[in-house]
């Protein structure tokens, strides 16, 4: 899971691309990069948070009115500086590309790029493979002479990607002398939204990003979503070309709504905040049916992505909502830390119970999901250490039973608690007095109940094992898991 943005503007874009990274920092803390161009490419990238990478001096070097940015949260490839996006190639034109998602047929594609297209790969990143496939599709002995002809060439190149590439990918790209290009995989698994604003000269500026969280601050009006299978090209004069090249079922990732996206985002024309309120509402109704004799004194969210669902859960039950766990905001998101040891170490630093809210009470903990179970178990232990009489646990997401291979770091079955234990065993492991998971249909209903979204069914492969691209079988799962473990260990 990463954050990407692309901006076409009437003025220099570097500062706004930096602002985009800041607004998307929750989507990736590992690394960040910006590329712009005027007469040539300009890049600055590094490992760490945006504020640690960019400064007044290197931002001055990022000249140009067109550019792209990337926040990295690695699900494939290594962790070195060379893996930091955007990637670029000088042939043809000069092309830079940033990618959010994960390619499930990476090995086959990498082999094709090296052997058939005779291009050299500097990294193990699937994004670099995607760049070279894109670049190769644009290489012609006789270059197109007009923007209309170039758009036709873009359509051929991207349609070739759609036919070859499996997995999830939302892409922003800049091409020297041409402009800004964005496209999204045919099933729209990873998000990509768009916005526009008047430029004061009768034209418009355009932004494309993983979330619309920065639009208001930068003066952009939301303009919907990039459709699944759609290609959009903004040429250097500001003319927009767009075409939906292929149409399949629309299956956006449900975990965006559960955990990853900021609550103020609107993805695929669905409000993340409202979807989370409905998750809490549906779960509260299920709790009352299953446990009519267990009414908590307070509902405490596992901060902070569970806050919204916990608010509506408490309202439906008619009990008090309490922020009984203080979150140290200077500790990063534990779910997206690269190693298991780092996650375990950070939980007690990250969350501190408030004793006056907990002691001698029946406490309901509400969490967005349970993936590995370590944080959940530590939270329960903390509450009991601080005097809770009973601890109940409600989860806005159903049991996470399968790895995600479309861009979320759930890399191996062995790490998923629900892949190795049933609900009763998980209840015992967490040491809670009652445990309730959301049902799959109730979660899907919460996301799709409102909005002009045209979602057929969200991708819920991590919950129901249905990999919507039809690209995962037992052998592929073993291959992908091995690749992820090797990436973590620094092996080839």
Q: Let me know whether 308 and 216 are in one domain.
A: no
**CATH number, domain with residue 90:** 3.60.20.10
- Could you list the pLDDT tens digit for every one of the 492 residues in the chain? 799 999 999 999 999 999 999 999 999 999 999 999 998 999 999 999 999 999 999 999 999 999 999 998 765 555 567 789 999 999 999 999 999 999 999 999 999 999 876 778 888 899 999 999 999 999 998 889 999 999 999 999 999 999 999 999 999 999 999 999 999 999 999 999 999 999 988 999 999 999 999 999 999 999 999 999 999 999 999 999 999 999 999 999 999 999 999 999 999 999 999 999 999 999 999 999 999 999 999 999 998 899 999 999 999 999 999 999 988 877 655 555 555 555 555 677 788 899 999 999 999 999 999 999 988 999 999 999 999 999 999 999 999 999 999 988 776 888 899 999 999 999 999 999 999 999 999 999 999 998 889 999 999 999 999 999 999 998 988 888 888 777 766 644
List, in order, residues 6 or more apart from 341 with CB less than 8 Å away: none
Q: How many domains does the chain divide into?
A: 2
| Structural domain contains residue 372 | yes
The full DSSP string for 168-206 is EEEEEEEETTTEEEEEE-TT--S--EEEEEE-SSS-EEE
Q: Are strands 351-353 and 325-327 parallel, antiparallel or unpaired?
A: antiparallel
pLDDT of residue 491: 46
pLDDT of residue 116: 74
Whole domain around residue 430: which residue ranges? Answer: 271-489
Q: Let me know whether 239 and 314 are in one domain.
A: no
| Structural domain contains residue 305 | yes
- Boundary residue ending a domain (217, 248, 279): 248
Q: Let me know whether 280 and 374 are in one domain.
A: yes
Active-site option among 2, 253, 459, 462: 2
| Structural domain contains residue 43 | yes
- Class of residue 194 by CB neighbours under 10 A (exposed 0-12, middle 13-18, buried 19+): buried
Q: Let me know whether 305 and 454 are in one domain.
A: yes
Q: Let me know whether 130 and 225 are in one domain.
A: yes
| Structural domain contains residue 458 | yes
SS3 241: strand
Distance CA 53, CA 68 (A): 16
Taking the CB of residue 122, how many other CB atoms lie within 10 A of it? 9
- Boundary residue ending a domain (214, 248, 282): 248
Q: Let me know whether 278 and 208 are in one domain.
A: no
| Structural domain contains residue 266 | no
Q: Let me know whether 291 and 428 are in one domain.
A: yes
| Structural domain contains residue 254 | no
- 169 near 125, Cβ under 8 Å? no
Q: Let me know whether 78 and 212 are in one domain.
A: yes
pLDDT of residue 78: 53
Q: Let me know whether 114 and 216 are in one domain.
A: yes
Q: Let me know whether 202 and 289 are in one domain.
A: no
pLDDT of residue 80: 65
| Structural domain contains residue 260 | no
SS3 67: strand
**CATH number, domain with residue 427:** 3.40.50.2020
Q: Let me know whether 174 and 140 are in one domain.
A: yes
Tell me if residue 404 is catalytic: no
- Boundary residue ending a domain (216, 248, 280): 248
| Structural domain contains residue 56 | yes
Q: Let me know whether 51 and 154 are in one domain.
A: yes
């Amino acid at each position: 899971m990463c954050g990407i943005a692309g901006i076409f503007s009437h003025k220099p874009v570097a500062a706004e691309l930096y602002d985009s990274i800041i607004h998307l920092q929750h989507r990736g803390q590992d690394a960040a990069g910006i590329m712009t161009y005027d007469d040539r490419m300009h890049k600055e990238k590094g490992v760490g948070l945006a504020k640690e990478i960019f400064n007044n001096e290197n931002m001055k070097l990022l000249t140009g009115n067109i550019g792209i940015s990337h926040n990295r949260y690695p699900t494939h490839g290594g962790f070195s500086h060379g893996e930091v996006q955007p990637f670029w190639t000088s042939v043809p034109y000069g092309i830079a590309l940033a990618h959010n998602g994960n390619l499930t047929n990476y090995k086959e594609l990498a082999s094709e790029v090296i052997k058939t297209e005779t291009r050299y790969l500097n990294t193990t990143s699937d994004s670099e493979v995607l760049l070279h496939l894109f670049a190769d599709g644009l290489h012609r002995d006789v270059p197109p002479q007009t923007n209309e002809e170039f758009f036709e060439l873009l359509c051929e190149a991207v349609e070739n990607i759609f036919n070859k590439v499996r997995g999830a990918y939302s892409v922003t790209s800049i091409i020297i002398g041409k402009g800004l290009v964005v496209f999204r995989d045919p099933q729209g698994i990873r998000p990509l939204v768009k916005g526009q604003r008047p430029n004061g000269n009768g034209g418009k500026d355009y932004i494309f990003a993983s979330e619309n969280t920065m639009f208001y601050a930068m003066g952009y009006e939301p303009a919907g979503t990039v459709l699944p299978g759609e290609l959009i090209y903004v040429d250097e004069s500001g003319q927009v070309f767009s075409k939906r090249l292929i149409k399949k079922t629309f299956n956006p990732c449900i975990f965006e709504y559960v955990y990853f996206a900021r609550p103020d985002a609107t993805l695929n024309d669905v409000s993340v905040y409202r979807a989370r309120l409905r998750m809490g509402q549906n779960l509260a109704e299920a709790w009352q049916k299953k446990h009519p004799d267990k009414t908590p004194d307070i509902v405490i969210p596992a901060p902070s992505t569970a806050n919204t669902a916990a608010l509506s859960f408490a309202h439906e039950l008619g009990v008090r909502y309490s922020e009984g766990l203080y979150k140290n905001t200077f500790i990063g998101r534990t779910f997206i830390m690269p190693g298991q040891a780092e996650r375990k170490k950070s939980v007690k630093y990250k969350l501190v119970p408030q004793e006056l809210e907990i002691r001698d009470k029946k406490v309901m903990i509400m969490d967005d999901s349970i993936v590995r179970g370590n944080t959940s178990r530590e939270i329960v232990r903390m509450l009991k250490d601080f005097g809770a009489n009973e601890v109940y646990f409600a989860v806005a997401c159903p049991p996470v039973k399968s790895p995600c291979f479309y861009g979320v770091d759930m890399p191996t079955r062995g790490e998923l608690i629900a892949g190795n234990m049933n609900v009763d065993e998980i209840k015992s492991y967490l040491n809670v007095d009652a445990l309730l998971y959301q049902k799959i249909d109730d979660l899907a209903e919460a996301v799709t109940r409102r909005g002009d979204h045209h979602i057929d069914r969200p991708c819920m492969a991590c919950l129901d094992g249905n990999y919507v691209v039809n690209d995962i079988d037992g052998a592929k799962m073993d291959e992908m898991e091995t690749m992820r473990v090797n990436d973590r260990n620094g092996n080839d």
